[in-house]
Amino acid sequence: MRHAKLLRAIALYLITISMALTPLAQGAQSRPASQGPARRGAVGASQTEAPIRLVVGIVIDQFRYDYLMRFEDQFVEGGFKRFLQSGANFTDNNYLHTPTYTAPGHATFMSGTTPALNGIIGNEWYDRESGREVTSVSDGKVKQLGGRDGATGASPHRLLGSTLGDQLKLTTQGRARVVGISLKDRSAILPVGKRPDGAYWFDGNTGNFVSSTWYFPELPAWVKNFNRDQHSDRYFERVWERLLPAAAYARSAGDDNDYEGKDHLFPHSLRGKDEKPGPAFYGRFQSSPFANDHLANLARAAIENEKLGSDDIPDLLTISFSSNDLVGHAYGPHSEEVQDITLRTDRTIAELMKWIDKQIGLKHVVFALTADHGVAPVPEQVKALGYGGRVSATAVSGAIEKALDGAYGDEKWILSTGNGNVYFNLALLKQKNISVAEAEALAAAAVIKVPGIAACFTRSQIVSGQTPATRLAESVVHGFHPERNGNLVIVTEPFYLVGGSSGTSHGTPYSYDTHVPLLLLGPGIRPGWYGQASSPADIAPTLATLLRLNPPSNRTGRVLVEALRGR
Ligand SMILES: [Zn+2]
């Protein structure tokens, strides 16, 4: 196993090297005209350019590349358009791993590698050691700070290897400042690695931004002040209406369609029928574009109070906008709601960039923007076109149980399912002297007969390097960690979802889930549209080159040399 892993690492290393040696700017369709040919050789921040004082890493949760194209004409100046016109736009940027979920995407973002090496294989998974479900960041050893008394904390303890922030800390002897923020704990915590100055996320019980004792014994005063002065309760009376006149949404599916859940019509009241703010309101708030604005305000407070970008030691701020994901799940990628929150996110980012320009000066700031995954169309919507649909979760587990019961007798063979994984009861198999590989093969053969299931890979197959040479299998291998994944990994056919009754989701190796933006902007970045294949794992090594740092320890992504200015 270790041998196979080593060979894979060497192969990836050689591929990375050979890619790094391809001519600069090959195939780049510059828009506007690029700034003349870069000299070959060293790339990275030029010493003649203004020093980089701040890197802002932006993730938009559940944001497909095609949103940038579909709505480009409705963007304002200074937001996404600024990236498309003055930055580097990688037009064929795809995740290389399955499952395409939030935690793996955010871990990839700044570790520069896939879950196979960063260990974040899902949002949650079955932990064999403790015999229970864990989340990517749950940590019983730390306490939450700023929320309800006694709430369990969260930390990056399951993240393997270093991130860009860790490398910054190492190289500057801790002087660089590193901060991560989001509505979701995993999206605040995973991008900034092990020892940032802080990670902050939204608590749906109290409406506060919270953190954990992993980072410090007490919540910093500026975060307490933010919770006091700018609490989310201020949004209680807000109503989410369309930003533009209704006619501007003609390209979407129409507000009153059959594919969205209940309460799907504009306007969306945040208070609903509630008398005062509480958890139900905090839920609706997070599912509205106003929570993105609230997070942008926290970004401003973080920059001011943590003094980010205030000197020539580069700092790192990661911001993950979560509301787009909640809206996308409920209404689907072709809804007016998704169009509207996309337009509003553009304006939120434009305002934030304007503020950062005033505060720090954009000539000192590098921006990297991506998404943690895309999303499938609502199954019922594509079914009407003749493909896709929903697979019942019990049909999948039923097929496996039936196969194992038939071969080995009636027992509780499965400990856990979820995250596209099936965990066998290994102790029971051992006790009955049953070969794990045989049981896996038997179950896999049964599960692929379920309509809507495309493939099922077994643990034995993956760890012995015997998966077929297909893109599907490769994607599963990139998402597989031998100590954390189950005995089976199941992949649906395109446009099929397992479970649910309305709305949509993501998680597959198909383009609607993998194809996301990769936008870079700032000193050292060559503007242009680049058609070369890239992945979000390329962001961290590229930024490391720009910052003259050693890349994150486990990185497998390549340096996007075509988008870096030569010296
Ligand atoms: Zn997500």
Compute the distance from residue 111 Cα to the ligand 1 centre, in Å. Answer: 17
Percent of the chain with pLDDT over 90: 86
Compute the distance from residue 307 Cα to the ligand 1 centre, in Å. Answer: 29
Contacts of 112 (CB under 8 A, 6+ apart): 164, 537, 538, 539, 540, 541, 544, 551, 552, 554, 555, 556, 557
**pLDDT of 6 over the 80 cut:** no
> In this predicted structure, what is the pLDDT of residue 33?
36
Mean pLDDT value of segment 229-243 = 98
> In this predicted structure, what is the pLDDT of residue 46?
58
> In this predicted structure, what is the pLDDT of residue 127?
97
Residue of 501 and 513 predicted with greater confidence: 513
pLDDT in tens, 244-279: 999 999 999 877 877 776 678 899 999 999 999 999
Compute the distance from residue 143 Cα to the ligand 1 centre, in Å. Answer: 24
Confidence of residue 25 (pLDDT cuts 50, 70, 90): very low
Compute the distance from residue 372 Cα to the ligand 1 centre, in Å. Answer: 5
Please compute, for residue 97, the number of CA atoms within 13 A of its CA located in the half-sphere on the CB side.
Answer: 33
Confidence of residue 501 (pLDDT cuts 50, 70, 90): confident
Instruction: State the Cα–Cα distance between residues 535 and 93, nearest whole angstrom.
Output: 5
> In this predicted structure, what is the pLDDT of residue 540?
98
Peptide bond into 267 cis (omega under 30): yes
Angle between helices 164-171 and 539-546 (to 10 degrees): 20
* Mean of per-residue pLDDT scores for the chain: 92
pLDDT in tens, 390-401: 999 999 999 999
> In this predicted structure, what is the pLDDT of residue 24?
36
For tokens 């579909």, the residue is 70
pLDDT in tens, 153-166: 999 999 999 999 99
Catalytic site residue from 102, 342, 348, 458: 102
How is the chain split into domains, by residue range?
Answer: 54-377+516-563, 389-498
> In this predicted structure, what is the pLDDT of residue 29?
41
Confidence of residue 502 (pLDDT cuts 50, 70, 90): confident
In CATH, which of 2.60.120.380, 2.60.40.10, 3.30.1360.150, 3.20.20.210 is domain 389-498?
3.30.1360.150
Element holding 540 (H helix, E strand): helix 539-546
Mean pLDDT value of segment 130-148 = 97
pLDDT in tens, 284-309: 999 999 999 999 999 999 999 999 99
Compute the distance from residue 100 Cα to the ligand 1 centre, in Å. Answer: 8
User: Residue 394 catalytic?
Assistant: no
As given in the structure block, the two tokens for residue 76 are 């304002």
CATH of domain 54-377+516-563: 3.40.720.10
Compute the distance from residue 195 Cα to the ligand 1 centre, in Å. Answer: 23
Mean pLDDT value of segment 332-356 = 97
pLDDT in tens, 54-83: 999 999 999 999 999 999 999 999 999 999
Compute the distance from residue 532 Cα to the ligand 1 centre, in Å. Answer: 25
Q: Can you give the pTM of this predicted structure?
A: 0.91
- Contact between 180 and 188 (Cβ < 8 Å): yes
Mean pLDDT value of segment 400-424 = 96
> In this predicted structure, what is the pLDDT of residue 49?
77
> In this predicted structure, what is the pLDDT of residue 259?
74
> In this predicted structure, what is the pLDDT of residue 138?
98
> In this predicted structure, what is the pLDDT of residue 34?
37
> In this predicted structure, what is the pLDDT of residue 8?
53
> In this predicted structure, what is the pLDDT of residue 37?
37
> In this predicted structure, what is the pLDDT of residue 255?
76
Compute the distance from residue 373 Cα to the ligand 1 centre, in Å. Answer: 6
Compute the distance from residue 507 Cα to the ligand 1 centre, in Å. Answer: 9
Compute the distance from residue 179 Cα to the ligand 1 centre, in Å. Answer: 19
**pLDDT of 15 over the 50 cut:** no
What are the strands, taking DSSP E only, across 111-192?
Answer: 124-127, 132-135, 138-145, 152-154, 178-182
> In this predicted structure, what is the pLDDT of residue 199?
98
> In this predicted structure, what is the pLDDT of residue 258?
74
DSSP letter, residue 37: P
- Contact between 352 and 299 (Cβ < 8 Å): yes
Sign of CA dihedral 404, 408, 409, 410: negative
Compute the distance from residue 61 Cα to the ligand 1 centre, in Å. Answer: 4
Compute the distance from residue 102 Cα to the ligand 1 centre, in Å. Answer: 3
> In this predicted structure, what is the pLDDT of residue 254?
78
> In this predicted structure, what is the pLDDT of residue 47?
58
> In this predicted structure, what is the pLDDT of residue 44?
54
> In this predicted structure, what is the pLDDT of residue 137?
98
pLDDT in tens, 431-445: 999 999 999 999 999
pLDDT in tens, 69-118: 999 999 999 999 999 999 999 999 999 999 999 999 999 999 999 999 99
The distance from CA 542 to its chain's CA centroid, rounded to whole angstroms, is 18
Mean pLDDT value of segment 126-146 = 97
Instruction: State the Cα–Cα distance between residues 282 and 278, nearest whole angstrom.
Output: 6
